[in-house]
Amino acid sequence: VVPSNAALIGGLIDVCREAIAANADHLSELDRAIGDGDHGTNMRRGCEAVYAERSRLAGLPLPKAVEEIGLTLVMSVGGAAGPLYGTLLIEIGRQMAGLSEQAEFPRAFERAIGAVARRGRAQAGDKTLLDVLYPVHAEVVRRAGLAGIAEEAERAASLTFGMKAMRGRASFLGDRSIGHIDPGAKSCALLTAAICRFLEE
């Protein structure tokens, strides 16, 4: 069943908010180990700000709604994650607006990930949310199916355990950042799983 535009937007907002609310303490705990302990709080603030605009956003065309969710995240999250997730969604929204068919989505997603990498001056292997976004993109290209994408996101987040952080606060720890899961990678996997579960229904 393909949900209406409003049900799709409202549903995506709801499941992302629930996934973050249910895991906010865990995300902050991960961030306490290699950062400043606020990633769960930051993400929850962003999701609540988006939720406050839910009915207005649900009335917009999907690309515009995604872009505006990104703008809201940039303004509300605070911390590195806000501008990065914000950039991702703003760019996905803008790229989607120019798509002539859904099959072009992977390219739009790829460009948006590139914008995040430029914004954070980060690359694959730097122990950031990009280490989930790139593998998720690869699974989308491979048409792995929603369950496969969610699984890959979780696997990719756990692989950040062995990485040394090269960007963000965690990079101040140098080698001591090794042996911890990156909080941004974890939130990205949680959001990916929530979105895939919702789209599967």
With CB under 6 A as the contact rule, which of the stretches 37-45, 90-98, 107-115, 151-159 interacts with ligand ADP? 37-45
In 3D, which of 186, 45, 82 has the Cα closest to residue 129? 186
How far apart, in whole angstroms, are the C-alpha atoms of residue 117 and residue 125?
Answer: 12
With CB under 6 A as the contact rule, which of the stretches 48-56, 95-103, 114-122, 136-144 interacts with ligand ADP? 114-122
Largest interatomic CA distance in the chain: 48
Is position 46 an interface residue for ligand ADP (rule: CB under 6 A)?
no
Nearest CB to ligand ADP, comparing residues 135 and 184: 184
With CB under 6 A as the contact rule, which of the stretches 47-55, 75-83, 94-102, 105-113 interacts with ligand ADP? 75-83
How far apart, in whole angstroms, are the C-alpha atoms of residue 195 and residue 201?
Answer: 10
| Count of residues in the chain | 201
- Count Cβ neighbours within 10 Å for each residue of 49-58 and write b for 16 or more, e otherwise: ebbeeeeebb
Using CB under 6 A as the criterion, which residues of the chain lie in contact with ligand ADP when the complex forms?
Answer: 31, 35-36, 38-39, 42, 79-81, 84, 120-122, 128-130, 167-169, 182-185
Using CB under 5 A as the criterion, which residues of the chain lie in contact with Mg ion when the complex forms?
Answer: 31, 35-36, 38-39, 79
